[in-house]
Amino acid sequence: QVQLVESGGGLVKPGGSLRLSCAASGFTFSDYYMSWIRQAPGKGLEWVSYISSSSTYTNYADSVKGRFTISRDNGKKTLYLQMTGLRAEDTAVYYCARATNERVFDYWGQGALVTVSS
């Protein structure tokens, strides 16, 4: 069955960096676009970024552009999100999700909590 498992979350100071990973299994990872979506505590869902199956194409929300970088390693079946210049408003649970061709998110990981605080 499809599984997505995030790791790398934690507490970081404002201005700091963190890298999230998402290990995929149960499907042909290299066939799918992948995405990061976040949810601040008690708030709704916010799309962060996605990457095409061969890493040719990436896109970012304005709120993270220039600070976050999405990447993937198809050999390791792993998705990454490198986060730099972190701000308090980046505090959220970060989900990785598999995207269909139409950018519908059909499988989600359990989420990784990132807390930005001094």
Partner 1 sequence: DIQMTQSPSSLSASVGGRVTITCRASQDISISLAWYQQRPGKAPKLLLYAASRLESGVPSRFRGSGSGTDYTLTISSLQPEDFATYYCQQYYSTRVTFGQGTKLEIK
Measured from the CB atom, the residue of 104 and 118 that comes closer to partner 1 is 104
Q: Strand 112-116 vs strand 92-99: parallel, antiparallel, or unpaired? A: antiparallel
Q: Candidates 54, 88, 103, 117: give the one binding partner 1 (CB under 8 A).
A: 103
Cβ neighbours, 10 Å, residue 17: 12
Q: Is 59 a binder of partner 1 (CB under 8 A)?
A: yes
101 DSSP assignment:
T
- Distance CA(28)–CA(47), nearest Å, equals 23
Binding of residue 41 to partner 1 (CB under 8 A) = no
Question: Nearest distance from residue 101's CB to partner 1, in Å?
Answer: 10
Q: How far is residue 2's CA from residue 4's CA, in Å, rounded to a whole number?
A: 7
Q: Does 55 bind partner 1 (CB under 8 A)?
A: no
47 contacts partner 1 (rule: CB under 8 A)? yes
Q: Are 64 and 9 in contact (CB under 8 A)?
A: no
Name the site residues for partner 1 (rule: CB under 8 A): 44-47, 59, 61-62, 95, 100, 102-106, 108-111
